[in-house]
A and B are shown apart, each in its own frame.
Chain A
Amino acid sequence: MSETDTQSQRKTLLKSRTNIQGLDEITGGGLPKGRPTLVCGGAGCGKTLFAMEFLVRGSLDFNEPGVFISFEETEKELASNVASLGFDLNDLLRRKKIWLEHIYIDRGEIEQSGEFDLEGLFIRIHHAIESIGARRVVLDTVESLFSGLPSPQILRAELRRLLRWLKTKGVTTVITAERGQGELTREGLEEYVSDCVILLDHRVNDQSSIRRLRVVKYRGSTHGTNEYPFLIDEDGFSILPVTSLGLNYSSSLKRISSGIPRLDTMLSGKGYFRGSTVLVSGTAGTGKTSIAAQFVEAACKRNERVLFFTFEESAQQLVRNMRSIGINLEPWMKKGLLRFHATRPTHYGLETHLTTSIKLINSFEPDIVVLDPINAFVSGQNQTEVKTMLLRLVDFLKMKGITAFFTNLTSADESIEITDVYISSLIDTWLLLRDIEFGGERNRGLYVLKSRGMEHSNQIREFKLTNQGIDLLDVYVGPGGVLTGSARLSQESKDDAEQLLHRQEIVRQQISLERKRKAMEAQIALLRSEFEAEESQALKVIGIDKARDERFTHDMARMAKSRMSDVLTKPARTVKNGKGIRGSTR
């Protein structure tokens, strides 16, 4: 409820602030001032506590003294009951800030004879109010009158008169009443108290209890109409209206490492966003907690504070187990950077978990919160409630800028995505771990199902839990999908062998080529030598012929000289011709 809403309502209807955590937000500023409010609910749903807290906070925070008229518990019982909530009632009583009055009725001792009225009660309340100047009055289970006193008609009329009278006194009154069958209250008190009716409910679902509060009616004012879960713990009531948390948180651009370098690489090289919500889901034994622990260790190394909620293992067991994969969390615990909070999910109801978580977070102020695992809360058909709880937790963490890290165990027989659908929308970065069963073994695979606001790898990566932490292996994509474990190893060695063979083939081919070249060269050499032999033979013949020609020419010249012939060139020309003919015939 925003500031302006509250202001506009103040103009129309005066409200008495309760300072009960969350209630003023739902009612838009508190209970109707100077008028009665009916708080009804079954046994053990917290009516008395609600009423008492209304008074105590009123006197402490707003300096409005209050009168508590108890029809059930004695003053002593009340004081000790609320002491468990951290209220020192005796001190308030001594300082006249609170007036406790027990009204004892025992039917067995009372006989009726004729008409009577409850003027005695009026006088007592009046006396109490006047004694401390009370502005607030509580009548705790006023219906006890009906079981204690005769004549319901008179009681009804008197109650009606009492409420009218309280209104004229101008005190803000809370009247508690037991819830009746099919009606809000056993005696139909809601007919008389028409200004504001609040219903408290305490349900048990699968052995864990959930408390809820609903404003059934608030005359003259708008109010939250939902059922709001609430909690009673050592600090009293706290109601957590979903609406009080909005979607108006700022988002960080800063990135933080997942603690696994190769996983960071898959998330565009930088890891998760600070203040985002990370979910790691997978079947049993896929290494969810280990991935969480690796993240935690990395965070602690950066000097960040981590609050680790573990719902399945004790802190010691978790630390021991993580040590086996080389993650030592103990020094960080000693240093005060890491705190474990181990509870069984069935230990309390969801709301208690939520509220205690929020309280712890507020006191420890962590940078990172781990919930391991969130499915521990799911039992039976309460997925919607779990989702609501997580939604509120996530909203709360986001508002605080705390990075949330959840793990979730999914059952093997369902599709992982379907199992987690109920929380999917809350998650920014979702890592899926899966068993890859192949070739008679199980191996761990990891992939990024989604990661809002960043590029991320689409590959399924095999990872190993080594004694130095988590190690993402190289991707091996075989013909039948990703190969893992020994299948990957055997495929790898098969590939190695093939490659060797291939290399050998190349070498072999090179050798044969070389051989061919050699053969070719040898042949060339042979041909050349043959040619050379022929050539020399031919040259020899040519030389002989030449010599013969020269001889002939010489002889002819000599003959001509001796004959004194003048034709000198002619025989030479003939010789030339003769030589040419001879050459061609050869």
Chain B
Amino acid sequence: MKANHGTSKAGRRTVRPAKSRSTKWLLRLYVAGQTLKSVTAFNNLKIICEEQLKGQYSIEVIDLLKNPQLARDDQILAVPTLVRKLPVPVRNIIGDLSNTERVLVGLDLIGHSA
């Protein structure tokens, strides 16, 4: 699996964005204050989006310390949590997004088998 890691990733890159090109991506990042984790997460997300979804995404950062009610409304437990609001279905990724591979899987930009 690990051996063809690079090639599959490269292969998918060319396939998937074609599908997503027409769609608008709405991503929401929930954080709790300006912690190291939240800053790391935002930076990682930014990089991935620039690489994968240039021009067709928007990122909304929500600080739960400022809007605690939203944690309940959106069922957030762990922070940082990245929620793909659009395209549907909604997908959740937790963590500082340092593992790009998992983020891509979570956002359904590459298949789970990868």
* Interface positions of A (Cβ within 8 A of B): 101, 103-105, 109-124, 126-127, 145, 149-150
Contact = CB atoms under 8 A, between A and B. Distances in A.
B18 interface: no
A120 B95 contact: no
B32 interface: yes
A120 B64 contact: yes
Contacts of B100: 113
B22 interface: no
15 contacts: A101-B72, A105-B75, A110-B94, A112-B93, A113-B94, A114-B41, A114-B98, A117-B37, A118-B79, A119-B78, A123-B32, A123-B64, A123-B71, A124-B72, A127-B71
B92 A110 contact: yes
B1 interface: no
Interface string B79-94: 1110000000011111
B38 to A, nearest CB: 9
Contacts of A150: 94
Contact of B92 (A111, A114, A123): A111
Contact of A115 (B64, B76, B91, B95): B95
A101 B81 CA distance: 19
A113 B30 CA distance: 14
A127 B67 CA distance: 10
B71 A116 contact: no
Contact of A120 (B44, B78, B90, B99): B78
- In this complex, the interface size class of chain B, counting residues with CB under 8 Å from chain A, is 35 or more
Contacts of A124: 68, 71-72, 76-77
A105 B77 contact: yes
Contacts of A126: 68
Nearest to A127: B68
Given A111-B102, A116-B79, A119-B32, 9 more contacts: A111-B91, A111-B106, A113-B95, A113-B102, A115-B98, A116-B80, A121-B78, A127-B68, A149-B78
A145 B106 CA distance: 20
Find the residue from B35, B77, B90 having the highest chain A CB count within 10 A: B77
B105 interface: yes
Contacts of B92: 109-111
B93 A113 contact: yes
A81 B37 CA distance: 40
A113 B82 CA distance: 10
Given A120-B78, A120-B79, A123-B65, A113 B71 contact: no
A517 to B, nearest CB: 125
Given A109-B92, A120-B32, A114 B99 contact: yes
A109 B102 contact: no
Contact of B77 (A109, A111, A118): A118
A110 B37 CA distance: 18
Contacts of A127: 68-69, 71-72
Contacts of B95: 112-116
A111 B106 CA distance: 6
A116 B37 contact: yes
B75 to A, nearest CB: 5
Find the residue from B65, B71, B94, B98 having the highest chain A CB count within 10 A: B94
Contacts of A105: 75, 77
Contacts of B44: 114
Contacts of A109: 90-92
A28 B11 CA distance: 69
Contact of A113 (B35, B64, B79, B98): B98
A120 B72 CA distance: 9
B14 to A, nearest CB: 23
A113 B97 contact: yes
Interface string B26-44: 0000101001010011001
Nearest to B102: A113
Find the residue from B44, B96, B101 having the highest chain A CB count within 10 A: B96
A115 B96 contact: yes
A111 B103 CA distance: 8
Given A120-B30, A120-B64, A120-B78, A114 B96 contact: yes
A115 B40 CA distance: 10
Nearest to A149: B78
Contacts of A103: 75, 77
Contacts of B99: 112-114
A114 B106 CA distance: 12
Contact of A104 (B30, B75, B96): B75
Given A111-B94, A113-B97, A113-B102, A120 B37 contact: no
A117 B78 contact: yes
Leading 3 A-B pairs by shortest Cβ distance: A111-B106, A114-B98, A127-B68
A95 to B, nearest CB: 19
Contacts of B103: 111, 113
Contacts of A145: 77
Nearest to A130: B68
Nearest to B104: A113
Nearest to A158: B78
A150 B95 CA distance: 10
A120 B77 contact: yes
Contacts of B64: 119-120, 123
Contacts of B81: 116, 120
A119 B94 CA distance: 12
B91 A118 contact: no
A112 B97 CA distance: 8
Contacts of B80: 116
Contacts of A121: 77-78
Given A111-B105, A111-B106, A121-B77, A116 B94 contact: yes
B97 A114 contact: yes
A116 B96 contact: yes
A16 to B, nearest CB: 26
Contacts of A113: 93-103, 106
B106 to A, nearest CB: 3
B78 A118 contact: yes
A150 B78 CA distance: 11
Nearest to B103: A113
A120 B105 contact: no
